[in-house]
Amino acid sequence: MSGARHFLTLLDFTSGELEGLIARAIELKEMHKAGQRHEPLRGKVLGMIFEKSSTRTRVSFEVGMAHFGGQAIFLSARDTQLGRGEPIEDSARVLSEMVDGVMIRTFEHEKVERFAAYSTVPVINALTDMYHPCQLLADVQTWVEARGPIRGRTVAWIGDGNNMCHSWINAARQFDFRLNIASPEGFDPDPSVLDAAGDRVTLTRDPHEAAEDADIVTTDVWTSMGQEEEQKRRLEAFRGYQVDAALMAQARPDAMFMHCLPAHRGEEVAAEVIDGPQSVVWTEAGNRLHAQKALLEFLMG
């Protein structure tokens, strides 16, 4: 309905634009560390709609807007008319009259698509049941700033074929790396997302096979937000899919361990791995700030 660019999945941007964002994120991080002020969003406001909990996403967007001289406002479904059934389309048009960008964390991916269709300001997906593209910007940045280009590298995804897995699949397409997924039967990624990635992405039941010679080993919780009542069944299904030292030993000796967090030690990852020398999870979390600043500058600057 409007010419505003949105970031609902990694496929909304070209590979070149994504590469540009990563380079800019690294630059913005250096500028911030050097104490350099950069306020391209002075006077601008980001509306942040949260229908699920968050620590990293909320703080990184809020701090990013503060660094840029703008402001962010937190809108929870519980305290707004969204939670009382005001149509998404109406909310999108109302917020477009007031704010300069909107960030949404919700359940159905279709909700952010509907919101974006009626929004005249940029809309950012801050996690849906299907995708978590902002996290992937930070994850790719974490690799690139330490090791250089990710093109041609191998990533192993161990565990649930969930929103993070789907975004890793899209990242493999856009940044051109190999992705080996190991998930238990019944927890595969969405076939349409998987098939679109072609032979760059493989699916196996064997975590050790997936991790072989990987440059990055990554995982996520076995029970995502909104799936709490399935927890018991999931704990059983995912037994054998923990990223532990033996699994890391299959990967390259200098492989990085990544996790979007929050993590459950003793479930999807062993403490020895997430708290060990190959783990980059704290840098990865910190890079949410810098990668999203690059995104905000691109969309709202």
* Residue 24 among the catalytic residues: no
Work out what residue 55 binds among ligand CP, ligand NVA, none; the CB cut-off runs from 5 to 8 Å by kind: ligand CP
Of 85-93, 157-165, 171-179, 278-286: span binding ligand NVA (CB under 6 A)? 157-165
The torsion defined by the Cα of 109, 89, 42 and 283, in degrees rounded to 10, comes to -10
Which range, of 52-60, 66-74, 86-94, 203-211, touches ligand CP by CB under 6 A?
Answer: 52-60
Q: How far is the CB of 250 from ligand CP (least distance, A)?
A: 25
DSSP string, 94-153: HHHTT-SEEEEE-S-HHHHHHHHHH-SS-EEE---SS--HHHHHHHHHHHHHHHS--TT-
Q: Which amino acid is at 177?
A: F
Rg of the chain (C-alpha set): 19
Q: Does 128 bind ligand CP (CB under 6 A)?
A: no
- If one asks whether residue 137 binds ligand NVA (CB under 6 A), the answer comes out as no
Cross-strand bridge partners of residue 217: 156, 257
Is position 260 annotated as part of the catalytic site? yes
Specify whether 220 is catalytic: yes
Residue 54 binding ligand CP, by CB under 6 A: yes
Contact call for residue 135 and ligand CP (CB under 6 A): yes
100, 108 contact by CB (below 8 A):
no
Active site residues: 105, 132, 135, 220, 260, 288
Point out which residues bind ligand NVA (CB under 6 A): 127, 162-164, 220-221, 224-225, 260
Point out which residues bind ligand CP (CB under 6 A): 54-57, 127, 135, 260-261
